[in-house]
Amino acid sequence: MRSPTSTGTSQAWAALGADASLLDRVSYGGPSGGLPARLPVMELARSTVAVCSLAAAELTSVRTGRPVPRVRVDDEAVATAFLSDRLVRLDGRAWSTFAPLSRFWRASDGWVRTHANYPHHRARLLAALGVSGDAREDVAHSVAGAIAERTAREVEETVYAAGGLAVAARGPEEWAGSEQGVLVAGQPLLTTARIDDAPGRVLGDAALPCAGLRVLDLTRVLAGPVATRTLALLGADVLRIDAPQLPESQEAHNDTGMGKRSTTLDLGDATDRRIFEELLREADVVVIGYRPGALDRFGLAPDALAERRPGLVIAQLSAWGRYGPWHERRGFDSLVQVATGIAELEGSADAPGALPAQAIDHGTGYLLAAAVLRALTEQQRTGGSRLVRSALTQTAHWLVHGLASAPGGEGGFDAGRRLTETDSPMGRLRYALPPVSYEGGPVDWGRPPGVWGRDAPVWIGV
């Protein structure tokens, strides 16, 4: 049995501006061998799930008037959930979380990692490298040759200039000395703020902390959907909205769409924009995971949202942070690992490595959900529209520089004990059970994911 207080949990709970005395409500246990790494990945995982669970328990107490329920963090449940995107099965079939061109490549002076899971990112990568992408051509061989002729930084800049994704591998010292790295190091783990004096919405007594709340989910793989999946677990009506011209992987949605509904709206179309504004008028939370500023032209900047819907909780997620020379760049967990030196720390003399899970994504997702829950709690007390922000690089910095490994639990890790199955519109779905847990809390989602984009753009009950 570990100490009743994890250092990582204490750090994350303090970053949320919460009452430190509530940490006594948290205990830990279970086998912890599921996320082996040189860096303290398991401590990041258990800490982020712990604060999310405690924030849910705290909001439950606010709504019911009863004491804050106790929280139990089980390492086996946590590790399984952090591997959920790799463990999901549909009718027994697995899917690959990375496309063939999403991988490490040797450049003339080092290593580069690319991300080409989406068709438009793949097309931009090939265009930037001068590779045709003809089906008759060995595309991977051509990409390897084009990258081998360039320096890693040249590939990074050329691909990003074309709207694609490629990052040169850096060591931790190199990242720490860069302009973006210096700025990241100066940021807190996440930020929370009250942005106006709007009266808070009074939430009535309810068994689930998010019961009756409506969440607009404007996020894509993976941290944002993990956050909104968690809010759905806790009782919120979560409606994910994507642009119809941006394809999404149904396989990814099978994992992160648990408990949610999904629709498509083109905010550049007058009719769809009107529907969105109608949804916004009754929303309680908006979660945005697009690049900083990418949706501002649609009136989705925090001040504009709060002006139209006073008392809103707005959560913003970015890859690189909303500051510095990289703030407008696209990014994913795998690329953040490469840029910040994590890939070097987890690699060998022969090649970069990777964390045992997309732990930066998952961890940031639980942190973001915790921040939303805490914003709702503070809103009950003092009102105001609320803004919470997080970034993958800030979570990565915490992993490398802020956390220490904690003692492990007893017994052998077995992900199978934390998996279950259900029927879904797509077939028989196997998935990881949620790790967020507190006394009297939910143990599973109320509904499986549906076919991506097929739900009506309305709130439940309307």
Catalytic sites, residue numbers: 361
- Is residue 122 classed as helix, strand or coil in its secondary structure? helix
Contact 227, 219 (CB under 8 A): yes
Longest dimension (CA), the chain: 66
CA distance 253 to 118: 14
- How distant, in Å, are the alpha carbons of 15, 18, 330 from that of 390? 11, 17, 15
CA distance 324 to 179: 7
Strand-by-strand arrangement of the 166-168 sheet: 104-106, 111-114, 166-168
Contact 337, 355 (CB under 8 A): yes
CA distance 151 to 112: 9
Nearest to 434 by CA among 171, 147, 233: 233
- Is residue 193 classed as helix, strand or coil in its secondary structure? strand
Contact 45, 408 (CB under 8 A): no
The alpha helices in 7-151, defined as continuous H runs, are: 7-15, 41-64, 75-82, 84-87, 119-129, 139-148
Q: Which residues pair with 454 in a beta bridge?
A: 263
CA distance 169 to 111: 5
